[in-house]
Amino acid sequence: MANDILHTLLAASLIAGAVIALLCAARAPLRRAFGAAVAYMAWAAVPIALAATALAMLSTVRMPAQVQQVVAPLRHLASAGLPAAGIAGMPWQQWQTWLAAAWLAVAVAMLAWYGVAHRRYRKQLGPLRRDGSLYHSMHTDEGPAVVGLWRPVIVVPADFAARYTPQEQQLILAHEAVHLRRRDPLMNALCALLQCALWFHPLVHLAARRFRLDQELACDAAVMHAHPGLKRSYADAMLKTQMSTQAALIHCHWQSTHPLKERIMQLQQTPPTRLRRVFGRITITALVAACGYGAMAANAGVASPDKYMVTMKLSAGGESSSPALLVQEGVQAAVTSTGKGGKWCTELMLTKASASSVFVKAVIKHDDRVISSPGLLVPIGETATVGVDDQFKLQLAVSKPRD
């Protein structure tokens, strides 16, 4: 049990690290090329890759040998990461149990900390006064923010109407509405759960901060797409918002720990055209799919090569024989017969051509000298014939062996 937990954690951390490193390097170029909304979509590669890893480890998924060669370095790291020997005189089995228990203890502690911090933040907001679809905090230093997980609401500070102009209020509420529409608090909760599960991985915590920033930039871009002439008012609203004294948690704050400079600079960029956004979505979809497939391939078993029963009738140098061989695809098999005219050797290499046929590459040797090298496309269950003058004749039939 402990070994399975550690192996799963190691595989997940390797896959997460590889995907996160790729996204951290690509997020800025993606944002410049296709816009902030498309760059934010790229973060879907992390949960997709982890889900593919779990699927590959929990199922009997098999990948072709050619694919396995590409992901061999990750498989090697995973196998080398868990030693078989003991550490400091203690058997490795005991270390596995202690390491698994330590991981679980820290993960549960982090999860509890998130729960306590969430309750503390909700308490700090004080009683909320409802005004239509908005909720007003009793304090001036909290909000605007989307608060809650299952039924999120927009919370604004007590001086919301006095601090912001009507136009700024409209832009702020539009920003928070984008968070609600995209279910960003739920995405933030999933991010927090990933941080708890992989608490030992520094790239995961780095990615969480980058993810939250890209989330805010994507919302900014959506608001500016709907209100392209109000960039100045939008920037003024950002500058008027006080920094939150609480950690971001799963809530979506209008302005908390997100780099204000980067958000304002983003407002000055020319938005991408519709064609570029469409091409960007196609690119991100391909990227996410590639990450998922690569993660599955790195943790799946190698596809077993097909095996075939080859039944032959040989006539070589006046001698006849009827050998039968169980031949594995891609592995050479040979039959040797000795007659009055010397030694004959028939080498066979089978490659699957389709579900109903096999390509047979034969090499016929007489006294270690190659006489002929025919290639045959043989339908399963049928017979093919090869002859060399009157000295050698081969009839072979290929069939699938019974399980």
83 vs 98 pLDDT, higher one: 98
pLDDT value at residue 391: 77
330-379 pLDDT, tens digit per residue, is: 888 888 887 667 788 889 999 888 888 999 998 988 888 888 888 889 89
Residue 86 has pLDDT above 70, yes or no: no
Q: 378: closest CA among 352, 402, 346?
A: 352
Give the H/E segment covering residue 361: strand 357-366
Domain span at residue 225 reads 1-60+97-245+258-299
Give Cα 398 distance to the centre of its chain: 40
- Per residue in 288-301, pLDDT tens? 999 888 887 776 65
Structure confidence by residue, pLDDT tens digits, 380-389: 988 888 887 7
The average pLDDT across 66-91 equals 50
pLDDT of residue 186: 92
Confirm whether pTM is higher than 0.85.
no
280 in the same domain as 146: yes
- What's the pLDDT tens digit per position in 215-246? 999 999 999 999 988 999 998 888 887 654 44
Indicate whether 78 belongs to any domain. Answer: no
Considering the domain architecture, whether residues 311 and 370 belong to the same structural domain is answered as: yes
- With respect to residue 66, please indicate whether it lies within any of the assigned structural domains: no
Number of domains in the chain: 2
> Considering the domain boundaries, does residue 12 fall inside one?
yes
Residue 18 shares a structural domain with residue 166? yes
Give Cα 68 distance to the centre of its chain: 16
H helices of 254-378, where?
A: 260-267, 274-299
Which residues contact residue 342 at a Cβ distance below 8 angstroms, ignoring those fewer than 6 apart?
317, 366, 367
179-191 pLDDT per residue, tens: 999 999 999 999 9
Asked if pLDDT for residue 87 goes beyond 50, the answer is no
- What integer is the mean pLDDT of 58-70? 54
Q: Which of 110-124, 360-374, 388-402 has the lowest mean pLDDT?
A: 388-402
C-alpha–C-alpha distance, residues 92 and 84, integer Å: 6
Residues 228, 349, single domain; the answer is: no
Alpha carbons 189 and 19: distance in angstroms, whole number: 20
Residues 267 and 383 in one domain: no
- Helix %, strand %, coil % for the chain, to 5? 50, 25, 25
Q: Considering the domain boundaries, does residue 69 fall inside one?
A: no
Considering the domain architecture, whether residues 219 and 172 belong to the same structural domain is answered as yes
- Which of 104-108, 281-285, 309-313, 364-368 is the least confident region? 364-368
In this structure, are 194 and 106 located in the same domain?
yes
313 CA to centre of own chain: 51
On whether both 294 and 312 belong to a single domain, the answer is: no
Q: Pick from 237, 272, 299: which residue ends a domain? A: 299
The answer to whether residue 75 is domain-embedded is no
Question: Is 295 inside any structural domain?
Answer: yes
- Strand 357-366 and strand 375-379: pairing? antiparallel
> Would you give the DSSP letter of residue 387?
E
Tell me the CATH number at 311: 3.30.1300
Query: Do 164 and 231 reside in the same domain of the chain?
Result: yes
- pLDDT confidence of residue 255: 54
Question: Could you tell me if 336 and 326 are in contact, meaning their C-beta atoms sit under 8 angstroms apart?
Answer: no
Q: 123 with 172, same domain?
A: yes
> Same structural domain for residues 226 and 319?
no
Same domain, 295 and 349: no
CB of 114 within 8 A of CB of 188?
no
Question: Which secondary-structure segment (H or E) carries 383?
Answer: strand 383-388
> Tokens for 276?
């570029």
- In-domain check, residue 208: yes
- Residue 180 contacts by C-beta under 8 Å, 6 or more apart in sequence? 146, 152, 154
Q: Tokens for 138?
A: 């009793």
Q: Is residue 71 part of a domain?
A: no
High-pLDDT (> 90) share of the chain, %: 34
Distances (CA, A) of 136 to 123, 125, 142, 145: 14, 9, 10, 11
- The long-range contacts involving 181-184, CB below 8 angstroms and separated by at least 24 positions, are 182/219, 184/146, 184/215, 184/219, 184/252
- Alpha-carbon distance of 312 to 399, in angstroms, equals 11
